[in-house]
Amino acid sequence: MSTKADTVVKKGYNVEEIRAQFPILKELVNGKPLVYFDNAATSQKPRRVIKAESAYYATINANVHRGVHTLSTKATEAQEAARETIRKHINAKHAHEVIFTSGTTAGINLAAMSLGQLLLKKGDEVVISGMEHHSNIVPWQLACEWHGAKLKLIPITDSGEWDLKQVPFSDKTRILAISHVSNTLGTINPVKELIAEARKRGIITVVDGAQAIAHLNVDVQDLGCDLYAFSGHKAYGPTGTGVLYGREELLERMPPWQGGGEMIDTVTLEKSTWARLPFKFEAGTPHIAGIIGLGEAIRWMEDYDFAFAKASAEQCKSAFAAHEHLLLEHASKELLTIDGLRIIGTAKEKVGVISFVIDGVHHYDLGTLLDQQGIAVRTGHHCTQPLMDHFGVSGTTRASFACFNTIAEVDAMVDGVKKGVNMLR
């Protein structure tokens, strides 16, 4: 679904060329063309990624690092090639700083459990913000409970931004755990600035990059963070995959959080010793097919983002991000013409995520009516209940855009919202 306007949204950006690579976009939902605006929950997958994952099962399908036979060698080489691709993409110094996980949640739990053992004692403090996903709240709550530490909060403003004048750092702060981008509001947070301040104080920094990896150019060395977690499935890759980047010196100090095969050097009944990085943190058989698919997703993003950026008259750094931003601007303008509609989260810097509420309309009912028109949005609290409490709402309707979405699809959603409002009020 596209219009002539979509072809000129950005010079050099061909949205039809992008859309042709996503098989699911040809599907009908409730007899209507699929309009997929739930990318912040999980993005759709291009054909290259689907083929890469399938090819592993069809032609290799062997375990990694544990065999001398040909298929095991091929599997190992493919997985480690993906690790190197990701290292380059996020600009880590070493491939062994890239730890494979099942997703951002697993990465943050690894960080919380391991750093808790390494750093936290009674009376220490962990600082998070008021806009965190539950996956960057609950693990730190658990770590604080186990070690007698306290959880402190960076308050947020009514526009959905950090209140940097009230960051609760103290001489007891040991860890700062923050999101790069809000999954509910789309806010791009000034993580680099806050990380720099934390480092001056000797505070370890952990960044939830789940919503940033598909929309921003993530450079972990430039950010200066100690740990950075993200998921594959939010960046056009397979579900059940993710990465925890960690600075080598810190990872060497951190204890493992899971025990089993692969993560050991030696095992006796009395004591075990740990394998070198990154395997120290990769117990058990990994999601090999998914990791290969994730590597292909990163390569796919780089190929097309760079190609369209290079073709652009403005030579924009990220063609995908520029396209998504124009969708966001158009959606914001058109949605605000609806009586009683309020956008939740109006930060100056946002990715292509828009959350809104409408007077007299429940978000769940609206989401159901949009689905009947083939339009997929997310409704509810988006795993950010404290954030919902801050804004005094039970939940929102959230539309989140990707590189394959179009102006015509935004217009279809706006028309669908208008129809829904007329039916529900």
pLDDT digits (tens, 9 = 90+) for 212-244: 999 999 999 999 999 999 999 999 999 999 999
User: Are 81 and 193 part of one and the same domain?
Assistant: yes
Residue range 27-75, pLDDT digits in tens: 999 999 999 999 999 999 999 999 999 999 999 999 999 778 999 999 9
User: Are 65 and 138 part of one and the same domain?
Assistant: yes
Instruction: Establish if 312 belongs to a structural domain.
Output: no
Comparing 175-179, 192-196, 301-305, the range with the smallest average pLDDT is 301-305
User: Are 162 and 254 part of one and the same domain?
Assistant: yes
Residue range 93-150, pLDDT digits in tens: 999 999 999 999 999 999 999 999 999 999 999 999 999 999 999 999 999 999 999 9
User: Are 364 and 259 part of one and the same domain?
Assistant: no
Annotation marks residue 383 as catalytic: yes
Helices (H), 336-406: 363-372, 385-391
Tell me which of 298, 331, 348 is where a domain ends.
Answer: 298
Query: For the chain, how many residues are written?
Result: 425
Tokens 């690092």 correspond to what residue? Answer: 65
Instruction: Establish if 139 belongs to a structural domain.
Output: yes
Q: What is the DSSP letter of 358?
A: E
- The H or E element spanning position 230 is strand 227-231
Residue range 252-265, pLDDT digits in tens: 999 999 999 888 88
User: Are 235 and 117 part of one and the same domain?
Assistant: yes
Give the distance from CA 337 to its chain's centroid. Answer: 30
What is the C-alpha separation between 425 and 421, in angstroms, rounded? 6
Q: What pTM did the predictor assign?
A: 0.95
Instruction: Establish if 310 belongs to a structural domain.
Output: no
Contact 48, 21 (CB under 8 A): yes
User: Are 203 and 275 part of one and the same domain?
Assistant: yes
Residue 231 backbone dihedrals phi, psi, to 5 degrees = -110, 150
- Residue among 144, 225, 316, 383 flagged as catalytic: 383
Instruction: Establish if 308 belongs to a structural domain.
Output: no
User: Are 272 and 339 part of one and the same domain?
Assistant: no
Domain encompassing residue 395 = 4-33+318-424
DSSP for 252-270?
Answer: HHSPPS--SSSSEEEE-SS
List the beta strands (DSSP E) in 224-308: 227-231, 242-246, 264-267, 272-274
- The CATH number linked to 322 is 3.90.1150.10
Instruction: Establish if 304 belongs to a structural domain.
Output: no
User: Are 125 and 260 part of one and the same domain?
Assistant: yes
Q: Say what the pLDDT of residue 317 is.
A: 63
Partners of residue 246 on adjacent β-strands:
227
User: Are 333 and 185 part of one and the same domain?
Assistant: no
- The CATH number linked to 106 is 3.40.640.10
Q: Say what the pLDDT of residue 9 is.
A: 45
| For residue 3, pLDDT beyond 80 | no
Q: Say what the pLDDT of residue 204 is.
A: 98
Q: How many domains does the chain have?
A: 2
Instruction: Establish if 311 belongs to a structural domain.
Output: no
